[in-house]
Amino acid sequence: MKFGVVVFPGSNCDRDMQDALQTDLKKEVIMLWHKDSDLSMFAKGDCIILPGGFSYGDYLRCGAIARFSPMMQSVIQFAGSGGKVLGVCNGFQILCESHLLPGVLLRNANQRFVCKNIYLKGIGSVDKPLKIPVAHGEGRFYADEVTLDSLEANEQVIYTYCEKNGNVTEAGNPNGALRNIAGICNMQRNVFGMMPHPERASSAEVGNIDGRIILNALLMN
Q: Is 199 a catalytic residue?
A: yes
- How many beta carbons lie within 10 A of that of residue 44, not counting itself? 10
Count of all residues that appear for the chain in the document: 221
CB 139 within 8 A of CB 193: no
Q: Is 13 a catalytic residue?
A: no
Q: Which residue in the list 96, 97, 185, 197 is annotated as catalytic?
A: 197
Q: Which residue in the list 13, 47, 97, 199 is annotated as catalytic?
A: 199
Instruction: Report CA-CA distances (Å) from 43 to 10, 82, 127, 137.
Output: 27, 10, 33, 34
Q: Which residue in the list 13, 62, 89, 162 is annotated as catalytic?
A: 89
- Cβ burial of 179 (10 Å; 0-12, 13-18, 19+) is middle
Q: How far apart are CA 152 and CA 155, in angstroms?
A: 5
Which residues are annotated as catalytic?
89, 197, 199
